[in-house]
Amino acid sequence: MLQPEVAELLRECMADLHLMVDTLQDQGNSLATALVDYRFRTERRVADRGVSLDWQIDIDAAPAMPATTLLQVLRIVQEALNNAIKHSQASRVVTSACYSATAGYKLRVEDEGIGLPDPLTEGRGLSSMRRRARDIGGSLRIERVAEGGGTVVELSLPPTTAGTPA
């Protein structure tokens, strides 16, 4: 590996370590709080890449979720953002999250980049995101936004995902 690749790999490892530590800290198992922490770390990490990160988070009224579920949700968001930043050639990535007691959680990472390859061959990252979503009782949608490009990754979790924190 070349030095820039090693440096990037180390940054990703540190981001993953911070994600795990933040999740294990007593934050009341609040996804809103965890996303604020993750946003802070992510924006610092990508500041020099010329990618604008837009966060639209409306989940303050969401109940706490088990720590194990929270970690899996954050890892899905992390992988989706990493993919968008590394592969999409986008100048802007929007991460949004909302919650309703009837519909549950919807988390989206959307870019206006070059879009998914056709045909899409899922590597370790995408298949890991699907497995994580399935393991926490959710569903994951990964698709091209429009003919001109862009990708959306959307995680849906039923309201029953929230509950007594683990």
Q: Is residue 59 part of a domain?
A: yes
The total of structural domains in the chain comes to 1
Q: Is residue 83 part of a domain?
A: yes
Q: Is residue 166 part of a domain?
A: no
**Confidence (pLDDT) at 119:** 75
Q: CA dist 3 to 7, 19, 91, Å?
A: 6, 24, 25
DSSP state letter for 163: S
Q: By residue range, what is the domain housing residue 63? A: 3-161
Q: Is residue 18 part of a domain?
A: yes
Model confidence pLDDT, tens digit, residues 79-117: 999 889 888 998 999 999 999 999 999 999 999 999 887
Separation between Cα atoms, residue 73 and residue 97, nearest integer Å: 11
Closest C-alpha to 156, from 142, 164, 145: 142
Separation between Cα atoms, residue 111 and residue 109, nearest integer Å: 7
Q: What global pTM score does this model have?
A: 0.81
CATH of the domain at 96: 3.30.565.10
